[in-house]
Amino acid sequence: DAGITQSPRHKVTETGTPVTLRCHQTENHRYMYWYRQDPGHGLRLIHYSYGVKDTDKGEVSDGYSVSRSKTEDFLLTLESATSSQTSVYFCAISESTRQGGFYEQYFGPGTRLTVT
Amino acid sequence: DQQVKQNSPSLSVQEGRISILNCDYTNSMFDYFLWYKKYPAEGPTFLISISSIKDKNEDGRFTVFLNKSAKHLSLHIVPSQPGDSAVYFCAASAFGNEKLTFGTGTRLTIIP
């Protein structure tokens, strides 16, 4: 089991409120990712990090920001939540394979967010 | 633009028979492919992978086949068991790229 935890596991919030989701790893991996999973869309990358204070946007980054002040923690913030951000959010960490240059990702248990 | 496609949203297979899940990709730069399995209320778990230097990789009941010329891969599960009922995601990446591109998933149901 990759040591990845996410908090909270479930959250209900109102439109317009800020929300922060936390991902914590015990593996000391360099790369961390935030995805959202929606029916018919699979897993879509929101933001990822390639080191402390180093982050970049994914394909669905609008309305989201991230921060990584320590190797083990990667935070996802919805500055002003909207109903379209109701989703299941997964954090992942990554390491390269033995061959090097290829990366396998390991996922946390997910956070179910409902914006009413 | 969906670079990784899983055209079958769902598949039902009798227990003990072979399950075949398919995945197509359009980006010729992809050279590493992975399958993930996801149960409800859990995160996806890594199942098996294959690099483009191979056309087959086997791990127990799970075999992944890669056809580079057709830009197609498939996951074979044999024999299928009730615990294989889950959503399966195909993913792809290019060498040196730490990001994965995922398909939309196929829900596999094993019928006892």
What is the residue-level pLDDT of chain B in tens, covering all 112 positions? 789 999 999 999 999 999 999 999 999 999 999 999 999 999 999 999 999 999 999 999 999 999 999 999 999 999 999 999 999 999 999 888 889 999 999 999 999 9
**A42 interfacial to chain B (CB closer than 8 Å):** yes
As a whole number of angstroms, the distance between CA B80 and CA B87 comes to 14
As a whole number of angstroms, the distance between CA B52 and CA B29 comes to 10
Take residue A100 and report the two structure tokens written for it.
Answer: 């090097």
**A116 interfacial to chain B (CB closer than 8 Å):** no
As a whole number of angstroms, the distance between CA A108 and CA A91 comes to 5
Residues in chain B within 8 Å Cβ distance of A107: 36, 43-45
Contact B42 A109 (CB under 8 A): yes
**A97 interfacial to chain B (CB closer than 8 Å):** yes
**A43 interfacial to chain B (CB closer than 8 Å):** yes
CB A111 within 8 A of CB A95: no
Contact B95 A102 (CB under 8 A): yes
- Output the pLDDT for position B51: 92
Residue from the list A4, A42, A99 with its beta carbon closest to the beta carbon of B102: A42
Q: Is the pLDDT of residue A1 over 80?
A: no
- pLDDT 10s digits, A51-105: 999 999 999 999 999 999 999 999 999 999 999 999 999 999 997 666 667 788 9
CA nearest B68: which of B21, B105, B33, B35?
B33
Contact B43 A40 (CB under 8 A): no
Contact A109 B45 (CB under 8 A): no
- Output the pLDDT for position B104: 95
Beta bridge partners of A75: A22, A67
As a whole number of angstroms, the distance between CA B89 and CA B96 comes to 21
- Output the pLDDT for position A98: 61
Residues in chain B within 8 Å Cβ distance of A101: 95-96
The 3-class SS string of B18-71 reads CEEEEEEECCCCCCEEEEEEECCCCCCEEEEEEECCCCEEEECCEEEEEECCCC
Contact A107 B105 (CB under 8 A): no
